[in-house]
Amino acid sequence: MKFITRLFISAITVFVLSKILSGIHVDNFVTAIIFALSLACLNAIVKPILILLTLPVTLVTLGLFLFVINAALILLADRLVEGIRVDGFWWALLFSIILSVFSSATDTALTSSEK
């Protein structure tokens, strides 16, 4: 149930950010849900592999390279899902930072409400 809640909140965040940021275009809310689901799958499968492969760069940049990995995963999800378009790397980077902040806030709120 927690996964579905997080997925739905991510989809809402994606849809709202597409209305705020001019470089992110989402056709409808169903597309945002599909994008959030594909991004969750990529984060579960591809992200650990990329982190392992780029570990030296991540250590040298004190973890800041993880933002680049997140932006790359957003661009990859953009290619996989029809109906969403990210205009470039910098838009994907900004989008990933904002999405990460909202996801962290959501996780904090969900875990504090369980206690």
What pLDDT, on the 0 to 100 scale, is given for residue 59?
A: 96
CA distance linking residue 113 with residue 107, whole number of Å: 10
CA distance linking residue 29 with residue 63, whole number of Å: 32
Radius of gyration of the chain (CA): 14
CA distance linking residue 42 with residue 19, whole number of Å: 24
AA letter at 83? G
The DSSP letter of residue 85 is: E
Q: What share of the chain has pLDDT > 90, as a percent?
A: 83
What pLDDT, on the 0 to 100 scale, is given for residue 51?
A: 96
What pLDDT, on the 0 to 100 scale, is given for residue 111?
A: 81
Q: Considering the entire predicted model, what is its pTM? A: 0.90
36: nearest Cα among 103, 94, 89: 103
15: nearest Cα among 34, 29, 30: 29
Q: What mean pLDDT, rounded, does the chain reach?
A: 93
Contact 26, 87 (CB under 8 A): no
Q: Compute the average pLDDT of residues 2-17.
A: 92
Residue 58, both tokens:
């991540």
The model's pLDDT over 67-89, given as tens digits with 9 standing for 90+, comes to: 999 999 999 999 999 999 999 99
Task: Delimit the domains of the chain by residue range.
Answer: 2-104
Q: pLDDT band for 115, please (50, 70, 90 cuts).
A: low
Apex CA 30: angle with CA 39 and CA 98, to 5°?
45
Q: Compute the average pLDDT of residues 16-31.
A: 96
Please determine, for residue 4, whether its predicted confidence score (pLDDT) is greater than 80: yes
